[in-house]
Amino acid sequence: MSRARLVPALARIALAACIAQGTCDAAQPGPALAALRVASLTERALKLQAQAGQAILAERSRRALAQAVRDLDAAVRAVGVPASPAELHESAAILRLLVADYRAWTLKAPTRDNARKLGERAEEIAWEAAKVVRLLGEAGRAPPPLAAKAADASALSQRIARLLLWQRWGIATRSSVNELALAKAALRADLDALRAAPATASEIDSELQVAENQAAFLFAAAYRLDSGAEGARQVDFVAKASDNMHESLERLVSLYAER
């Protein structure tokens, strides 16, 4: 399995383990949830760079990319650099350095070459963020499980859109088709798990319905792109649906965390 496919799989395994052990509702979940958001926002910035590079919703993409970078800065600050244990301290410090390097690359011109390099750095950030989440869980500071699933779903929505945009841009790798299929399946599983959760507040149910609707639009646009139908129009649908999913799932992260 390539690292790009292994990272999200390991993150979901770690989440399932903390649920099984009953540690996901431990005190002080903030840094772990922030680490999950770091991974999600990194993927979002990568997707928005691809949009800007192809002049897809050009002005909107530039504004959204600037906001994503600000949100990423805030998320990595929220992770902090815990003093102990030593492995967690080191991993969180590395994550901060990786994000700082990534941030600098997001400010470069959105070219194919820059996108490839950003993609490599995004994999490193996702790997380190998953490690931080695991170590925080072992220290009794795991994220609330439903908030974590919503954050994972947000990252997957951006990854799906980014892989589709990379295909259109001519920079997809040989494994991209399989990665895209895995991301779609994982997103469906996350949304199904959120829908199957015990009774929730009406505000959560409404927001989850929005996310599910946007996922349907995203999957439909992806299918039409694969079928060669109205390429430019479907790419706009991919960009908008993934943007809307991100906003809805970010709100869900906050709502679940408040619970």
User: Could you tell me the two tokens for 37?
Assistant: 């958001």
- So what's the pLDDT on residue 173? 86
pTM (two decimals): 0.86
- So what's the pLDDT on residue 47? 97
What torsion do the CA atoms of 143, 146, 152, 158 make, to the nearest 10 degrees?
A: -130
DSSP 8-state symbol, 144: P
Residue pLDDT, tens place only, 108-159 = 999 999 999 999 999 999 999 999 999 999 988 889 999 999 999 999 999 9
Residue pLDDT, tens place only, 149-168 = 999 999 999 999 999 999 99
Give the number of residues written for the chain: 259
Quick one: pLDDT band at residue 227, thresholds 50, 70, 90?
Answer: confident
Please tell me the distance from the alpha carbon of residue 246 to that of residue 248, in angstroms, as a whole number.
6
Quick one: pLDDT band at residue 191, thresholds 50, 70, 90?
Answer: very high
- Identify the three-state secondary structure at position 119: helix
User: Could you tell me the two tokens for 134?
Assistant: 């695991």
Residue pLDDT, tens place only, 9-58 = 554 554 454 444 444 433 334 999 999 999 999 999 999 999 999 999 99
- So what's the pLDDT on residue 229? 63
- So what's the pLDDT on residue 217? 96
What torsion do the CA atoms of 232, 233, 236, 240 make, to the nearest 10 degrees?
A: -170
Please tell me the distance from the alpha carbon of residue 178 to that of residue 197, in angstroms, as a whole number.
29
User: Could you tell me the two tokens for 138?
Assistant: 């072992």
Average pLDDT, integer, range 192-212: 92
pLDDT, the chain, mean: 88
- So what's the pLDDT on residue 24? 42
